[in-house]
């Protein structure tokens, strides 16, 4: 079955979403992963960074309900394997892996694997940008033209609007030539300027600040701003100023298809033919600052609270980050590289073969992390959103993640996986 235009849009908008490959700074095809990372990949899980959660789960009855709800969604949506981690201080925790990590061998999914986190990369890139704000080196209302030349309407578009997804710049992942070039050769290296060129062929979709439109073009530009102002590669700046201070020892920004073990195989139907394929080793350089990073369950658990509460930022800058604006999807707002849905704060990620959700609920100091080894939609909805919704309907009925839109409110394309449906 051939991919429809809508499906192509979903693929790349969200796929990048919330992940990013550290593409080369200029036109260099590849660079090395920071030296400190490989030695840390085998480190044992660090359970610090969140309030204490009783280790004995939520009790047999509630645990059984969660087991059934998650397994029902997994089977109905055709998800090969998934990992769910839930931590509610003072109440309990729940960490489970179900399904398979490899459909060929039948190897079971495990809780200790790495996954590509897609658009969750955006939370790291914007945190890096906000570190420069705190350093006094940039201001959120600076025009992008102050740092990067050649951006359509650059003097009118601010860094804030880029981070809010309100720039009006055309999403390069919606360009038909980009989609064809990527899917024709998923191993290809793309530089940031190469992917931006696909978007620049199109007129801006609206005036700066006029509305919300999820666009990976915005994040690639912000990644270039971080490099320009800091004088460092984005991968190095994020490593030194974000990952290390956050004690994220199993999170990395690859420069190509490298993928530490262990990891599940990833499956997608974002192909030229629409057939399902193994996309585990596809090169994510096209997503760069928008969606190329890799992490694991424990690091994402720690990051959920850090990004939602602003541990790495000044209170004033975090307050700016959390000023969410309407997205057009009821119950969901978007701030500076961060979303709020049903009271949960964080981001989701989607990239061919993988989906993740990393969110924090301030009212209960609760954390939810999901990792899936597919991005194939089910009845037009992102599989990670289906799982998150099923879980929160049980655990936090007053705070349901991505609550379904009533029929009268639904638009022509409801794929809000705010991975954003980063696709």
CATH of the domain at 90: 3.40.710.10
Residue 346 within any structural domain of the chain = yes
Which pLDDT score is estimated for 403?
76
Residue 414 within any structural domain of the chain = no
Instruction: State pLDDT tens for residues 8-43.
Output: 444 444 433 333 222 222 222 223 333 333 323 322
Residue 46 within any structural domain of the chain = no
CA distance 133 to 139: 6
Residue 406 within any structural domain of the chain = no
Which pLDDT score is estimated for 405?
56
Residue 48 within any structural domain of the chain = no
CA distance 225 to 138: 9
Note if the bond before 262 is cis, omega within 30 degrees.
Answer: yes
Which pLDDT score is estimated for 204?
98
What average pLDDT does the structure give for the chain? 86
Residue 169 within any structural domain of the chain = yes
Q: How far is CA 164 from the centre of its chain?
A: 15
Pairing of strands 267-268, 277-278: antiparallel
Scan for tokens 């290809």, then name that residue.
188
Positions in the chain whose pLDDT score sits under 50 = 1-50, 406-419, 422-423
Scan for tokens 């080793």, then name that residue.
281
If one counts the domains in the chain, the total is 1
Residue 336 within any structural domain of the chain = yes
CA distance 310 to 230: 21
Burial call 152-185: b when 16+ CB within 10 Å, e when fewer = bbbebbbbbbbbbbbbbbbbbbbbeebbebbbee
Residue 11 within any structural domain of the chain = yes
Which pLDDT score is estimated for 57?
76
Which pLDDT score is estimated for 230?
98
Domain span holding position 35: 5-40+55-395
């Amino acid at each position: 079955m051939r991919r429809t235009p809508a499906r192509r849009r979903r693929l790349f908008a969200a796929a990048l979403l919330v992940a990013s490959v550290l593409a080369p700074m200029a036109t260099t095809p590849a660079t090395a992963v920071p030296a400190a990372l490989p030695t840390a990949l085998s480190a044992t899980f660090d359970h610090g960074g969140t309030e204490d959660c009783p280790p004995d789960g939520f009790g047999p009855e509630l645990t059984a309900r969660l087991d059934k709800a998650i397994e029902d969604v997994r089977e109905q949506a055709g998800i090969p394997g998934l990992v769910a981690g839930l931590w509610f201080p003072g109440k309990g925790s729940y960490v489970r892996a179900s399904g398979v990590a490899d459909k060929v061998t039948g190897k079971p999914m495990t809780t200790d694997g790495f996954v590509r986190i897609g658009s969750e990369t955006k939370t790291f890139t914007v945190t890096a940008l906000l570190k420069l704000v705190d350093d006094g080196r940039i201001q959120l209302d600076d025009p992008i033209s102050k740092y990067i030349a050649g951006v359509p309407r650059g003097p009118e578009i601010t860094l804030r609007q880029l981070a809010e997804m309100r720039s009006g710049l055309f999403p390069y992942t919606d360009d038909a030539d980009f989609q064809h070039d990527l899917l024709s050769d998923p191993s290809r290296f793309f530089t940031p300027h190469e992917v931006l060129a696909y978007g620049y062929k199109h007129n801006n979709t609206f005036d700066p600040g006029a509305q919300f439109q999820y666009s990976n073009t915005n994040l690639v530009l912000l990644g270039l701003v971080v490099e320009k102002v800091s004088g460092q590669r984005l991968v190095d700046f994020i490593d030194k100023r974000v990952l290390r201070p956050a004690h994220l020892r199993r999170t990395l920004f690859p420069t190509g298809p490298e993928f530490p073990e262990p990891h599940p195989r990833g499956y997608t139907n974002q192909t030229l033919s629409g057939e399902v394929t193994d996309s585990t080793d596809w090169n994510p350089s096209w997503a760069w600052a928008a969606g190329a990073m890799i992490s694991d369950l424990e690091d994402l658990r720690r990051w959920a609270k850090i990004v939602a509460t602003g541990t790495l930022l000044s209170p004033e800058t975090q307050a700016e980050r959390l000023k969410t604006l309407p997205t057009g999807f009821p119950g969901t707002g978007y701030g500076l590289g961060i979303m709020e849905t049903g009271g949960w704060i964080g981001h989701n990620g989607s990239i061919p073969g993988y989906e993740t959700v990393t969110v924090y609920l301030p009212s209960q100091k609760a954390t939810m992390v999901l990792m899936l080894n597919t991005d194939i939609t089910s009845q037009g909805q992102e599989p990670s959103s289906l799982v998150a919704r099923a879980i929160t309907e049980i655990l936090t009925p007053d705070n349901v993640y991505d609550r379904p839109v009533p029929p009268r409110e639904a638009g022509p394309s409801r794929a809000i996986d705010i991975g954003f449906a980063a696709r």
